Amino acid sequence: MQKTIYAPETIQEIIQRIDKLKPTDTPFWGQMNAVEMLTHCNMAHQSILKAPPSDEKSTLKQLVSKFIFFRIKNEFPRFARGPKRFDMKGKVNAEAFEEEKSKYKHIIGKYGKLEGKIAAMHPRLGRLSHAEWGRFVWMHADHHLRQFGL
């Protein structure tokens, strides 16, 4: 069974992995340090949680990308580039580590208490269902934690 961020045991697992992150940890791939990664994740997940529902149709390119992402790749590519607004390289003070770490655990916990369903557009994958968002969010969190060996 594929993991989803909505499952309480998955939320707990992610939080336990976040707890192991230290400000001095270095990534196995990518450019962001630990605090930049946490800030990136916080911004991305806040955006997902606040995204308005959409009835917009996905383009053919988005449908193909979504199929490849969820059915063939089944994990984030190591050097995937996200939207520029979530690029935190060189933009975060190292002293913000504990605050960003605490914020990330809080945000992850919100997925288990959602009052409504997420049915928003993703810029590359098109419209995702609530279940697809649950899978996507888990994959994103897992990707960045694996990036730091967690």
Name residue, tokens 């919100």: 110
Tens of pLDDT, residue by residue over 75-124, are: 777 767 666 766 767 787 889 999 999 999 999 999 998 877 898 999 99
Q: Which amino acid is at 120?
A: A
pTM of the model: 0.89
What does the domain layout of the chain look like in residue ranges?
8-22+31-147
The burial of 91, by beta-carbon neighbours within 10 Å (0-12 exposed, 13-18 middle, 19 or more buried), is given as: exposed
Tens of pLDDT, residue by residue over 45-56, are: 999 999 988 889
Q: How many CA atoms lie within 13 A of 6 on its CB side?
A: 14
Q: How far apart are CA 121 and CA 132, in angstroms?
A: 11
